[in-house]
Structure 1
Amino acid sequence: MRAVDTNVLTRYFRHDDSRQSPAALQVMSGPAVFCPKTVILEFEWVMRYVYRHPAQDIVRCLGTLLELPNVTIEDEQQIMEAVHAYQRGMDFADALHLAASRHCEELVTFDGRRFARRVARLGLKPPVTAPRR
């Protein structure tokens, strides 16, 4: 099994480098590929902020990645939950933090009421709260 980094995923999905993109395709087509969830988190950031891809394009890429039979995704269920919440308007990093915290009573953050309201509106768990004094 070979693990991949963010730049391999980026070249694989963007096809924008005449040397690296074919190499990324070869790696991603290999018999067994492992993708850490931190790579997926960084990939979403790179695609959104560096390349200015809209969320729906990123969701399509992540959906494709999740469907590749030769790719093992770390904490795949959490990634699937995060992608679903992202598709419904949540920030991807927040959605992944929430999915990873689903066994907890609450997710405590200073990020403000917007995150908490969105989680409540979408009916997601755990609830998001602010620290209490």
Structure 2
Amino acid sequence: MIGLDTNVLIRYIVQDDELQARLASDLIENQCSTENPAFINEITLCEIVWVLKRAYRYDKTVILTILKQLLSISEVCISSRTAAWAAYSDYEIGNADFSDYFIARINKKAGCPFTFTFDKKACQNGNFKLLSS
């Protein structure tokens, strides 16, 4: 497997730096395969969404399209893929951040019936419980 940092994937997706985009594209398109996939861990996947939303101001529908592509490609190995797909579905219909939903899904997989949070938007999803006085 080939581990990829967030910035490599962002350059590949956004193509906003000619040299880095070319290097990222060469690596991903010429060295990643189903036999030797790119590895994207949970933190990297969350950072991708965060950077696209905050730094590049991508619309949620565009981010969902990118996430769906990443989760669907056989040349990419996603850590906690099942939880990532569940978080994708939650994010698609919810108002909280993708990372919040991903945290809750990973926690649920680990045996936590819900995740405590102060985030009221996240609590609209049944995997969360509001921590309050």
TM band (smaller chain):
0.7 to 0.9
The code of the aligned residue for 1:13 comes to I
| Counterpart in the other structure of 2:71 | 66
| Counterpart in the other structure of 1:110 | 118
Alignment of 1:1-133 (within 5 A): 1-29=1-29, 30=31, 31=33, 32-90=37-95, 91-102=97-108, 103-112=111-120, 114-116=121-123, 118-120=124-126, 126=127, 128-131=128-131
Report the alpha carbon displacement of residue 132 of structure 1 after superposing the two structures with TM: 6.7
Q: RMSD value over aligned CA atoms?
A: 1.6
5+ residue gaps, structure 2, are none
* Percent of aligned pairs with the same amino acid: 27
| Native 8 Å contact 2:39 2:79 kept in 1 | yes
Question: How many residue pairs end up in the alignment?
Answer: 125
- Aligned equivalents of 2:54 and 2:86: distance in 1? 22
TM-score by length of 1: 0.85
Question: 3-state DSSP class of the match of 1:19?
Answer: helix
Which 4+ residue blocks in structure 1 deviate beyond 6 angstroms?
none
| Counterpart in the other structure of 1:123 | none
- Aligned equivalents of 2:71 and 2:78: distance in 1? 7
Deviation string, structure 1 residues 62-85 (Cα, Å, up to 9, x no partner): 111112211100001111111111
5+ residue gaps, structure 1, are 121-125
